[in-house]
Amino acid sequence: MSKKYGRTFHLPMSPGATSDDKIMNDAAALDSLTEVVITEKMDGENTTIFQGGCHPRSPDARYHPSRDWMKAFASGISPMLAKDERIVGEYLFARHSIAYVALPSYFLGFAWIVGDEIQSWDDTLHRFEDLGITSVPLLYRGAFSNTAIRQIIAGMNFATQEGFVVRSAEAFHESDMPRLLAKYVRQDHVQSETHWMQAEIVKNGLA
């Protein structure tokens, strides 16, 4: 089943939000959770793998040569997925605004969706292991708090890291994404006036 992945709202304190972005009014829903997971936000192309193949954020996106690796990778995953399963992750073959030199893979997963439900983080990692998918780096797991957020921000290098994503550690419906999933993006993240798709392809490095 091909379906566009929902928008991730910015946390209220995210400095990288632009006029086109959606911003959470407050983080009360995250604050009410027993446990959250915070992962690194990678600077790539949001990509979905489903039973019939893969697509970038928009299912009807036009061809781009940088996506050839992703199509080949997805061809090994797609036959193992059920009709209602989707794997969503960051595709990092082409350099955008951050240069990566030692990626574990050009595709790093961050969500496993069955039907309309984003699965728990633990179940997601188990499914990734079954499929041979590497997850985005985990930065924190525990209660959501301003102290935890400040510690994450203080520990990041925004010259080489875009930001982070916080989500419920438990499963939740896709319609709850605006409440239970949010991102923090560095200030002035996009530092080039030329969109990466119009520029020469520069490959990121693998470990």
Confidence of residue 189 (pLDDT cuts 50, 70, 90): low
- Give the model confidence (pLDDT) of 98-113 as tens digits: 999 999 999 999 999 9
Distances (CA, A) of 136 to 5, 36, 78, 168: 17, 15, 20, 16
Half-sphere exposure of 21 (CA within 13 A, CB side): 17
Distance, in Å, from the CA atom of 132 to the CA atom of 124, rounded to the nearest integer, reads: 12
Distance, in Å, from the CA atom of 89 to the CA atom of 76, rounded to the nearest integer, reads: 16
Choose the CATH number for 9-189 among 3.40.50.2300, 3.30.70.3040, 3.30.470.30, 3.90.1640.10.
Answer: 3.30.470.30
pTM score over 0.95 = no
The pLDDT score that the predictor gives to residue 91 is 96
- Give the model confidence (pLDDT) of 137-146 as tens digits: 999 999 999 9
Confidence of residue 65 (pLDDT cuts 50, 70, 90): confident
Question: Is 127's pLDDT higher than 90?
Answer: yes
Distance, in Å, from the CA atom of 36 to the CA atom of 29, rounded to the nearest integer, reads: 11
The pLDDT score that the predictor gives to residue 201 is 86
Q: How far apart are the first and last CA of the chain?
A: 32
Question: Is 154's pLDDT higher than 70?
Answer: yes
52: DSSP letter: T
